[in-house]
Each structure stands twice: as structure tokens, then as C-alpha cells.
Amino acid sequence: MTDMIVKFILSTGFAHLTLSHVVMILVALGLLYLGIFRKYEPLLLVPIGFGMLLINLPMTGLMAEPVYRISDGSLVVEKIGGLLYYLYQGDALGIFPPIIFMGVGALTDFGPLIANPKSILLGAAAQFGIFTTFLGAIVLGFTHQEAASIGIIGGADGPTTIYLSSLLAPHMLAATAVAAYSYMALVPIIQPPIMRLLTTRQERRIVMEQLRPVSRREKIVFPVMVTVLVLLFLPSAAPLIGMLMLGNLFRECGVTKRLSETTQHSLINIVTIFLGVTVGASASAETFLNIKTLGILALGIVAFAIGTACGILLAKLLNVLSPKKINPLIGSAGVSAVPMAARVSQVVGQKESPDNFLLMHAMGPNVAGVIGSAVAAGIMLSVFG
């Protein structure tokens, strides 16, 4: 009887709980608190936080790899892998991120970008943080592939970060994915201080002209044109750009309403659950709590801050060169956290002038940032893949 009791105790998670597990459980609870009670992007932080909680409770085996053996010349499964291990293959094989991009395309109106093509410049400027941090990571001793996976965090685009890391630095996928999604969720906290630091009150009060109407024909031609032009120059960006533009074509063409609605709702919601939980589940205490991971998190927020600042500074430069003034707050939306970054531009702008409506203007660089981060990922893949 005593042996049975001891055996049972040793089979519980309590017998294997370490300080590292406790730390990661507290981090998971912190993410759940931010998502549920502070409402910071709950659709991201709740599944990520719960996935992190699940994987750091010892002995669950949810991310255990299957064990195979050879028997009579055939491959036999000796031990089945954990549930989240199989779902995680959607991250590791680069399947979930392009599907998320298709949903983003179906949810996003590209009209503000088409109406104000200068928004492309603001979106491109915000990607400067990616390449700056890439160089910084090289200086700190990371390999080119690792540095590329760290730099892409600056785009504040979780799916792109997962996609690039899974191909270039799979061993860093947990750290880069958690960093990217965390910074996406914390856009309302990280960006406003940078925005206020780099702009004057007068600049934040600039009222922009109403955008011109964009025709249905323009909206249909745009995703097709972008797909052809970008992929001819950068074939490696095909999974992300192709799915983004396909989703947008479903939205705009007018003859695929069922496909558009499925992509906007059921499909993206299902994949978001799987992606969020498995991203969290990849952050086990054994792989996450080390100096290298802390360095990745630090470099990631530097990349994000530089991207935000560069978008604002370019908008200020355009105001010097052009008689038609741009509210520089919309430059911060050039990071591809859609639509959170655009909303932040609107909120900060309205605090200075309640009659100033910047949301649609900010959506231009925000959409350009999505395309820009995918292009940046394609460049990294072409060079280092």
C-alpha cells in the first residue's frame, strides 16, 4: 500500500514542480490577467496565456513527441504524442500563419491605402526597425537566421514572425512568437509615449482631408496587381502575400460572399485558437527561461520602438516636403498590428482634438505595414533561407 501511495504521489505534477515552472505559471497568469481584466487583445493573450499555463504544469505530456520503433521493417508508433504537439505542427510547418493572413485580408479594407498611396511610404518606414534590429542582433553574436527571426518582431506581426522563425530558426520559435504577440497586444501601452515624445501638440492636432472614395474596380484590381508585382520580384513571399490578397479578393469581388464570411469569421477564429494555444504551449520553462530568450524579448521591443519612431519621423519629413499636411501620429500605424496600431493613432489624436478623426487615415499605413512585414520576411527568406 505504501508503494502504491508513493507511486501515485510521484505521478502527480506536484512532485515535479520546480521554481522555473512556478515562474512560467505566473507569467501565464499575468497574460491571462491582461487579456481578461485589462482587455489587451484578449483574442491573442487568452489562448497564449492558457497554452503557456498548460505546458508548464508538469507531467501533462501535451507537447510530448511521439516515439517510433522499427518492427519487421515497418515503422510503428510506440507512444502517441501529446495533443498540442500535433496542433503545433501547424506553426512549425508554416501552415497557420498564411491562413491567418487570408483572414486578415478578408477583414481589411484596403481603400485607405489605395486612396492615399503615400501611406505606402509610412508603412515602409516602419519596417526600418526590422533591419536595424537585425544588424544589432548580428553584432550581439546571433546567426543571420536568428537575427532575421528576431528583427521581424519589429513588424508587430505575429503570423509573419512565426512563419519566418519556423523556416529560419525553429529553435527560437517560442521566444520570437511570444514576444511578437505580446508586443502586438501591448501596442496601446508601448506606442503612445513614443508618439508623444516625437511630436508636438500642434502636430498632433493636424486635421487631415477626407479620403477620396475608392471604386469597386480599384479594390478588385489592387489585390491582383499587388500579388503579381510582389511575387514576380519576391517569390519567397508567396505564402503570406498570396493568402493576404486572396482573402481581400474574397471580400471585394462581390461574388464570393460565403467564402468571405467563412474566412472572416469561422476559419480565422479556429486557426487563431490553435495558433494562440500552441504558441503559448511552446513557451515551456525548459526552453524559455534563459539569457538568450531575455535578449530576444529585449531586442524585439527595441525593433518595435524603432519601427514606430521611423513611421512618425517620415511623416514629419513629408510635412516639410509637401504642402498637404499629414498628422504624424498615423506614421506609428505603419507597424502591421492591424487594426490596433490604427486605433492607437485615433485615440492619441482625439485626446488632443476631439474633432480629429484619424482612424481611416491611419489604416493606410497600417495595411501598408502588413504588406511591408510580409515583404521583409520574403527578403530574409531569399537571402538566408
Q: Which pLDDT score is estimated for 73? A: 76
Domain boundary among 19, 41, 60: 60
As a three-state string, the secondary structure of the chain is CHHHHHHHHHHCHHHHCCHHHHHHHHHHHHHHHHHHCCCCCHHHHHHHHHHHHHHCCCCCCCCCCCEEEEECCEEEEEECCCHHHHHHHHHHCCCHHHHHHHHHHHHCCCHHHHHCCCHHHHHHHHCHHHHHHHHHHHHCCCCHHHHHHHHHHHHCCHHHHHHHHHHHCHHHHHHHHHHHHHHHHCHHHHHHHHHHHHCCHHHHCCCCCCCCCCCHHHHHHHHHHHHHHHHHHCHHHHHHHHHHHHHHHHHHCCCCHHHHHHHHHHHHHHHHHHHHHHHHHCCCHHHHCCHHHHHHHHHHHHHHHHHHHHHHHHHHHHHHHCCCCCCHHHHHHHCCCCCHHHHHHHHHHHHHCCCCCCHHHHHHHHHHHHHHHHHHHHHHHHHHC
- What's the pTM value of the predicted model, to 2 decimals? 0.92
Q: Nearest 5°: CA angle at 112, between 221 and 254? A: 45
pLDDT of residue 186: 82
**Dist. CA 49–CA 281, nearest whole Å:** 9
CA neighbours within 13 Å on the CB side: how many for 73? 0
Identity at 354, one-letter amino acid code: P
Same domain, 199 and 251: yes
Indicate the residue type of 176: T
List the domain range (segments joined by +) for residue 250: 89-384
Do 93 and 238 fall into the same domain? Answer: yes
Pull the grid cell for residue 122.
509610412
Residue 147 lies in a domain: yes
Same domain, 48 and 158: no
Cis ω for the linkage preceding 339 (within 30 of 0): yes
181 lies in a domain? yes
Does residue 66 lie in a domain region?
A: no
pLDDT in single tens digits along all 385 residues of the chain: 788 887 888 888 888 899 999 999 999 999 999 999 998 889 989 999 999 999 999 999 999 999 988 877 787 878 889 999 999 999 999 999 999 999 999 999 999 999 999 899 999 988 888 888 899 889 989 999 999 999 998 877 889 999 999 999 988 888 898 888 888 888 888 999 999 999 999 999 999 988 999 999 999 999 999 999 999 999 999 999 999 999 999 999 999 999 999 999 999 999 999 999 999 999 998 888 888 888 888 888 888 899 999 999 999 999 998 888 899 999 999 988 888 899 999 999 999 988 889 999 999 999 999 999 999 999 999 999 7
Q: Is residue 127 part of a domain?
A: yes
N residues, the chain: 385
Do 108 and 52 belong together in one domain? no
Last residue of a domain, one of 44, 60, 76: 60
User: Does 69 fall in a domain?
Assistant: no
Whole-angstrom CA distances from 248 to 7, 107, 226, 241, 358 are 57, 7, 11, 11, 23
Residues 192 and 251 occupy one common structural domain: yes
Place of cell 508503494: 3
Residue 45 lies in a domain: yes
Kindly state whether residue 223 falls inside one of the protein's structural domains.
yes
258 and 121 co-located in one domain: yes
CA distance 74 to 374: 42
Q: Are residues 128 and 36 in the same domain?
A: no
Tell me, yes or no, whether 329 and 219 share the same domain: yes
298 and 195 share one domain = yes
Do 33 and 129 belong together in one domain? no
The pLDDT score that the predictor gives to residue 218 is 97
The answer to whether residues 45 and 133 belong to one domain is no
Judge if 143 and 236 occupy the same domain: yes
* Residue 287 is assigned to a structural domain of this protein: yes
Count: domains in the chain: 2
The grid cell for 343 is: 486605433
